Chains A and B, each alone.
Chain A
Amino acid sequence: MSYRLGVDVGGTFTDLMLINEETGATFTAKVPSTPEDSSIGVLNGVARICEESGIDPTKIDRVMHGTTVATNAVLQGKGAKVGLVTTAGYEQTLQVARSFCPGGLGGWVTFNKNPLLAPLELTIGADERMDASGNVIRELDEAALRKSLEKLKATGQVEALTICFVNAYINGDNEQKAAKIAREVFGDTPISISSEVVPEMQEYERTETTVMNSYVRPEMQLYIDNLQNALHDRMGEELQLSLLRSDGGLASARSAADSPVNMLMSGPAGGVTGAIYFCSRAGYDDILTFDMGGTSTDVALIQDSKARVRRETYVGDVKVRAPSVDVRTVGAGGGSIAFVPELTGALRVGPESAGAVPGPAAYLKGGDKPTVCDANVVLGYLPSDVQLGGKMQISKEAAEKAVQTIADALDIDLLEAAEGIIRVANEAMFGALRLVSVEQGYDPRDFALVCFGGAGPLHGNAMGILSDAWPVIIPPGPGVLCARGDATTTVQDEATRTYIQLAGDVSKEQLLADLKALEERAAQALIDDGIGKQDHEVVYQADVRYVGQAFQITLDFTEADLQERGLDVVTGQFDAEHEQLFSFKLSDGHEILMIRAVVKAKPADLALPEVGSADAELKDCIVHESKFYYDGAWHDAPLYDRAKLHAGIVVPGPSIVMEMDSTTVILPGHEARVDEIGNLLINPVK
């Protein structure tokens, strides 16, 4: 027997899922996260899950891990002191930050910039210059640079160093020369250079991204080293630790530690991967994911069971050029606080959140402000009288008291106020769904809507009604889906170069040769991890636009596509996508900005677990009679135990399906069918 373990460290909880690689049987555990050192939470979780399942830790071969260590370092300003070397004259690129002030007209009045990730005190200019075609206009003054670096070193403050020169995206020679001197001066201090981390045009974005890599690198390195050592102690030296990257691929522990800028969205990527895992097996390849947590909701659009990857990652108000699954976040979640500004008398929900502490009023942890969660309790969607394996006490009284403040402010009754809160929150989250679908030229009605996270299944049916995306899919274990996602991803790496050539000027042979060279580079990381070439899957990409556009689309294709269709694989595909997005296309002037090779390990298929008890009838699955309030009236709604529901069974609404980590609401006029995989498929009753 061999096992793999998925571990997702979130803001509040660390979720674990242990999977038997042969039978597909799973065990789950949820332990509190330990933000001061999240490896403690992980190890607690490992101890818990092994104890509860009775499985010997040494039977675990692989730990696959989604982590927010890098993200938190950024959000909490706890990263390294970064030294920065730029081209002379460009020292203040980060200070000017593209001159952008957020907010509307007058937004500047209250805007205060966060401290720079690389302080100006630790920034020096190097005498060198590259032109936009990659020709050296001025050689690097090595002696002068050495002097400046020695002075910088003497401050004793630099914990990580970044080198970013103008136009280095097209030629990194001067950066390499500078790095060589820097290594001589700085010894062990980690050095990140922009032409390696992100060889892409735009000096601010490239500098910020490379600096970000330096900023989180010492912390990530330490975390990964510690975790790996501790896991080796418990599970043996053979154990392989991998980390989930923002783009949904897996990275080896070593490559994660070197390029932590690629790990910033490690958490949300796990959810998307988990959703794809269950939905594709159920025959749904086009889905919208809806991951509703305590403080925010993440949504993404998946087509052909592939997540859209964008070339940017957002953390707080920092944006970096690192590929991440195209997840959009809105500041509305279960903990979002409702309030009524006195003057306008409008009902607002979020973006302030009660978080884990003090939490919603109903959790009796000191919170007294009305939240979305409290409204769910008041309306009966989140039953307060029955808990399944629940360790959380829920007080309906406290929730009612909190929501009553909204009712009073609006001069309406309690239930109306609670429904109002839910509807306003739903509308905000629907806005995010529109953003990834309608706004990108996709009709949500062509997609299924998969809902997970702690609160997703509570709101899923309502979101289905708003978006008309059916069925609404509630996968098994929706509360620990990220951990499942972590456990089901494959190792991946990529290599990129700036191209900037007209498609008409490039031959098929030349493009293929250039891509092959990149493939070679990307494959190396997998080979280093012991994954042989026969197990590689290769996808090529090109970022394309019409000349003059300041916008690009990333296109995927394979070697076979290129062989068969030639450059049309780029231009034809681009025209089609352009027309889909903008309702028109041009026939020529395609510019290839970047090319890329993405190399993945082929996935090993896991067995799926068995679903429910085959002989149970619907009524046997009822654990309690309850009721909820919907659309101005109370409805009787039985509570079902999800663990008992088997494939083919149909649960009519109004009803509530409970499981350990989540609660699913099925509204009147709808029903949920359990499929072979164990998903709940909610549809309107015809």
Chain B
Amino acid sequence: MTARIIETNNTPLKKVEVEGVTADIIENALKNARIEMDAVLFRTAMSPGIREQGDCFPMIANKDGKMVVGQFGSFIGPFMEAYNDEIEEGDIILTNDPYMCNAAVSHLPDWLVLKPVFKDGRHIAWTAMFGHMSDNGGMVPGSIPIEATNIYQEGVRIPPIKLYKKGVLQSDILELILHNVRTSQWNRFDLNALVAACNTAGKRCVEMANRFGDDVLFSAMDIMLERNYNAMKFIIQNFIPEEPRTFEDYLCDDGMGMGPYKIKCKMWREGDVAHFDFSGTDPQAQSSVNFYLNEDMFKMFFGSFTINVVDPHIVFNDGFYDLVDVYIPEGTLLKPKFPAAISGRTHALGRIFDVLGALLGSGAPEQMLNAAGFSDSPHLFYSGYDTREGKNNEWFQLFQIGFGGVPGRPAGDGPDGHSLWPGFTNVPNEFIESYFPLRIERYETIPDSGGAGLHRGGNGLSVAYRFLSDGAIGIHDERWLVYPWGVLGGQVGMRSTKKIVRIDGSEEWLPSKCDGVKVQAGDLLYFNTWGGGGWGDPLKRDPQLVLADVNRVLATVEGARDYGVVIKDGAVDEAATKKLREEMAAARGEIGVFNTGPSIEELRATCLAETGLEPPVQPVFR
């Protein structure tokens, strides 16, 4: 099965000599086109998820489907293999099914639009963009059902289809799809926006071809790919050891009582090629926390993490893929078998970054190793019929992304309550209060939640949601059991918690992952995210910095003792601090590179007492 591209002009594009400066100019022009895609999308999209939180990713690829500019790498190769039809000028492809595009998108709410760009009857490039839709139908509002056990429960599945055929919108198909989602108006606008962005970038490609010549544009794209190849070759030579290095981390649970799930990766180099082998990762989960990881996307994670070292101004692309080999065993958490549920993939996706950071950094921990941070985009769903006076029982559906502690890093302290994802921002509370039956009573970081360190971890965020209407909530979070680790003597960060105070005054700890929890008007939810791990020896942190954090209510007098700092009457007690630091230094053993906190067995044993929740049981794999 392969797609066939129909061209009315069969003259092949020729590889020609392109002078360096022209390539530089085309590089800039393509970069501008990509920025323009984002701009077009943000202006046109309607859902807060895309407009305010920036949950979307653009790309421009060459004729062969290699990404020349973009963020998450190309998915056109796998798509072309999977799509068994002809593609013509004016066609625009839509899909959301990870199983039909080799996980180019990794769950159904991400809708992917793909457009072949033609000029004078010749296919010259691709543009593509995907964005997270507010709803995709299925079991629960927001379409990320934790307890789904297969993908059919996760909403409408769109195989690669032509949304536009030779420039004509296939409105029957569009209406069929929108009929199956709860937020059809938002999706309609957002999809429209994705198409507009791809069309704009397509137009820019044609203009560039007009300006420089088709062959020159075609050849310049190759040069851009080659630049990345060379840069990454250098990086791999210098940062990837021949001696294999292994790291493992855990997903706390699957939301259905089992966990933790292990993610394991081995990294080494043979010649010019970096190898990543995920053997040893646990088998796929029973629920939706599986993450179908595209090998190429992992290459992109690896590349974008490291390339800044060499040329921060480079236009990052796919050119280096031949230099990286990724193996992910089938049937695991990271490559589940169809029809496994995958909508709750965000946690494992985030954890991949902790694993990758640990593998890359531990060769030169002082310069390159970060602690474990807020590697997730946890969320809260709140939906129902607005029972407040004058609101006519209107349906409402809120999707809120949470933020937490960035880890301590060689560069400095981790920022408090921030995002690790590019372009993400919170939705202003005043915006939420004016459009949803909610009052956000407190919005503040959690003192001492960042792991102590020479550079401390960022604090997690505590958001107190007062529900003003009856409804139901869904919670998706992580790191409630397994600690965010510290490095080089840095302490672990505080874990996440969710507490609901009912209107009758009773209190209840809610699981980190749950759906369909009924709430009443007047209930108060504390959505507390986790802190980043600390970096470096906390006993060496300037006591005045610790005092400053206490004065800023980012740490407490009690928390200062984790740094061996004694604060009395608003000042550092120098003598007591010296003494305490000496005692602590003597009491602790050798400082290792990683501090992951208690073992899994110990975590299970203390789970109920410390978190108010039953520990998950060891996963049973079928």
Contact = CB atoms under 8 A, between A and B. Distances in A.
B409 interface: yes
B32 interface: yes
Contact of B428 (A103, A110, A204, A551): A204
Interface in A527-574: 546, 548-551
A190 B539 CA distance: 42
B52 interface: yes
B32 A202 contact: no
Interface string B137-177: 00000000000000000000000000000000000000000
Given A104-B71, A549-B51, A343 B21 contact: no
B231 A96 contact: no
A90 interface: yes
B25 interface: yes
Contacts of B5: none
Interface stretch (A111-119, A298-306, A452-460, A666-674): A111-119
B411 A109 contact: yes
Contacts of B35: 435
A99 interface: yes
Interface stretch (B255-263, B434-442, B480-488, B501-509): B434-442
A412 interface: yes
B416 A96 contact: yes
A76 interface: no
A343 B230 contact: yes
Among A104, A129, A202, A424, the most chain B Cβ lie within 10 Å of the Cβ of: A104
Contact of A548 (B29, B46, B370): B46
A420 interface: yes
B417 A112 contact: no
Interface in A423-475: 423-424, 427-428, 431, 434-435, 438-439
Contacts of A581: 43-44
B430 A169 contact: yes
Contacts of B441: 89, 129
B313 A341 contact: yes
Contacts of A108: 373, 406, 409, 415, 418-420
A201 interface: yes
Interface stretch (A67-75, A271-279, A344-352): A344-352
B598 to A, nearest CB: 27
Interface in B454-507: 461, 464
Contacts, number: 207
A166 B24 contact: no
Interface stretch (B285-293, B548-556, B558-566): B548-556
B304 A106 contact: yes
Contact of A109 (B23, B313, B409, B426): B409
A548 B24 contact: no
Given A99-B425, A120-B554, A204-B428, A439 B36 contact: yes
Given A89-B464, A120-B552, A346 B20 contact: yes
Among A99, A108, A348, A582, the most chain B Cβ lie within 10 Å of the Cβ of: A99
Contacts of A435: 32, 35, 39
Contacts of B193: 582
B412 interface: yes
B48 interface: yes
A89 B417 contact: no
Interface in A75-103: 88-93, 95-101, 103
B424 A89 contact: no
Among A132, A205, A438, the most chain B Cβ lie within 10 Å of the Cβ of: A132
A343 B311 contact: yes
Given A99-B426, A204-B428, A584 B192 contact: yes
Contact of A166 (B43, B48, B429): B429
Contacts of A419: 21
A96 B461 contact: yes
Nearest to B229: A344
A671 to B, nearest CB: 24
A510 interface: no
Given A410-B20, A427-B28, A119 B415 contact: no
B11 to A, nearest CB: 28
Interface in B283-333: 301, 304-305, 308, 310-311, 313-314, 316
A125 to B, nearest CB: 9
Interface in A197-252: 201-205
B443 A99 contact: no
B406 A91 contact: no
Nearest to B368: A109
A129 B441 CA distance: 9
A131 interface: yes
A633 interface: no
Interface in B184-238: 185-186, 192-193, 196, 227, 230-231, 234
B293 to A, nearest CB: 15
A167 B432 CA distance: 11
A96 B418 contact: yes
A69 B425 CA distance: 31
A6 B442 CA distance: 49
Contacts of A427: 24-25, 28-29
Nearest to B195: A583
A119 B21 contact: no
A349 to B, nearest CB: 9
Contacts of B412: 112
B281 interface: no
A389 B36 CA distance: 43
Nearest to A201: B430
Given A423-B25, A431-B32, A95 B425 contact: no
B549 to A, nearest CB: 9
A546 B434 CA distance: 15
A424 B25 contact: yes
A1 interface: no
A500 interface: yes
Nearest to A411: B20
A146 B61 CA distance: 62
A159 to B, nearest CB: 18
Contacts of B311: 341, 343-344, 346
Interface in A315-356: 341, 343-348
A604 interface: no
A105 interface: yes
B234 A343 contact: yes
A343 B310 CA distance: 7
Interface string A158-190: 000000001101000000000000000000000
B242 interface: no
A107 interface: yes
A91 B227 CA distance: 47
Given A343-B310, A346-B27, A412-B20, A109 B301 contact: no
B431 interface: yes
Contacts of B313: 341, 346, 348
Contacts of B304: 104-106
B444 interface: yes
B430 A105 contact: no
A677 to B, nearest CB: 33
A121 B549 CA distance: 9
26 contacts: A88-B442, A89-B443, A91-B444, A92-B445, A95-B416, A99-B419, A106-B305, A108-B420, A111-B406, A112-B411, A119-B552, A131-B433, A201-B431, A203-B429, A343-B230, A344-B311, A344-B314, A346-B20, A427-B29, A435-B35, A435-B39, A439-B39, A548-B46, A549-B51, A551-B43, A581-B44
- Which 6 A-B residue pairings sit nearest by Cβ, starting from the closest? A89-B442, A120-B552, A420-B21, A99-B403, A132-B433, A132-B434
Given A132-B433, A204-B428, 5 more contacts: A109-B370, A203-B428, A344-B311, A345-B227, A439-B36
Interface of B: 20-21, 23-25, 27-29, 31-32, 35-36, 39-40, 42-44, 46, 48, 51-52, 71, 185-186, 192-193, 196, 227, 230-231, 234, 301, 304-305, 308, 310-311, 313-314, 316, 370, 373, 403, 406, 409, 411-412, 415-422, 424-426, 428-431, 433-434, 439, 441-445, 461, 464, 548, 551-554
